[in-house]
């Protein structure tokens, strides 16, 4: 297959296959949609994933154990890139946090999570060559209890700790 411009019909079909693979919790099917040397940049991964096998392992070892019932829903898009080699979408991701999110090692809450992402995909020869996920980490951190809700004692304590940390950072710079 040679590089052809990504049009709406191709993007819709590709997204249907990718999201079906995620919703079926099939790391092999996800990896099959990636180029051998794909770069997959996801804040849930310890570092950008390099290569199809790394993408498969990430979903099999981190994503699906943490959210075994994860479901992806297309909210908006696809928006085709000006270069004609990719698209952007907005997704809703939901699931129950039954396993740890590693890194950084957040403990499972057994609670429901629901968050939105913006995802940017570049394709080469009909496969993902680069995939970048952007999400509101503050919203997700609040849902898993890593950041307290505004106005609570925990939020006030965190604010105090940030002030102390900022004081020491300023002192190091002077």
Give the pLDDT of residue 174.
82
Whether 121 has a pLDDT exceeding 70, the answer reads: yes
Q: Report whether 119 contacts 132 (CB < 8 A).
A: yes
Whether 1 shows a pLDDT value over 70: the answer reads no
Q: Which residues contact 7 (CB under 8 A, 6 or more apart)?
A: 80
Between 103 and 26, whose confidence is greater?
26
Tokens of 14: 């590709």
Residue 155: what pLDDT?
Answer: 83
Distance CA 39, CA 48 (A): 7
Local confidence band at 106 (pLDDT 50, 70, 90 cut-offs):
confident
CATH number of 8-143, picked from 1.10.510.10, 3.10.450.50, 3.40.50.1970, 3.30.360.10: 3.10.450.50
Hey, where are the domains in the chain?
Answer: 8-143, 149-174
Residue 118 has pLDDT above 60, yes or no: yes
Q: 18-32: b or e for each residue (b if 16 or more CB lie within 10 Å)? A: bbebbeebbbebbbe
For residues 168 and 128, what is the distance between their CA atoms, to the nearest angstrom?
44
Tens digits of residue pLDDT in 62-91: 999 999 999 999 999 999 999 999 999 999
Tokens standing for residue 57: 């392992």
pTM tops 0.85, yes or no: yes
């Amino acid at each position: 297959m040679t590089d052809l411009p990504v049009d709406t019909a191709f993007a819709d079909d590709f997204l249907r296959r990718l999201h079906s693979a995620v919703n079926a919790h099939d790391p092999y099917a996800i990896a099959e949609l990636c180029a051998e040397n794909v770069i997959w940049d996801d804040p849930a991964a310890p570092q950008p994933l390099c290569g199809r096998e790394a993408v498969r392992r990430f979903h099999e070892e981190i994503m699906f154990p943490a959210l075994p019932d994860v479901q992806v829903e297309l909210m908006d898009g696809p928006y085709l890139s000006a270069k004609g080699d990719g698209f952007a979408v907005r997704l809703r991701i939901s699931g129950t946090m039954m396993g740890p999110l590693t890194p950084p090692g957040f403990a499972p809450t057994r609670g429901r999570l629901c968050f939105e992402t913006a995802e940017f995909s570049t394709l080469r020869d009909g496969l993902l060559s680069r995939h970048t996920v952007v999400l509101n980490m503050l919203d997700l951190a609040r849902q898993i209890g890593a950041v307290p809700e505004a106005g609570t004692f925990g939020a006030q304590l965190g604010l105090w700790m940030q002030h102390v940390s900022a004081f020491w950072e300023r002192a190091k710079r002077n």
